[in-house]
Amino acid sequence: MQKKLKIFSRICFGIAVASLMIGASFHGYRIHPENAANYNIGVAMGIIMITAFAVFLLAGIILTIIGKRK
């Protein structure tokens, strides 16, 4: 069971890093506010990806702590 927790925690950390990279790729849309549609997409995706980063980072930390206790 402990090996599964370790695998799941590493998957969570990997998804957290990937969500940061995806969110950073939308940063270019926010640089030019004169195009309102692209600006709104950039802002929305930035918020979604930073939220996903926080959720998966927290899940990875919690799974790591649970795995170390058992």
Query: pTM for the whole thing?
Result: 0.85
Q: Residue 1 has what pLDDT?
A: 63
- Residue 57 and residue 35: Cα distance in Å, rounded? 33
Give me the residue spans of the domains in the chain: 11-69
pLDDT tens column, 30-55: 888 788 888 999 999 999 999 999 99
Closest CA to 50 of 15, 19, 25: 19
What would the mean pLDDT of 7-27 be, rounded to a whole number?
A: 94
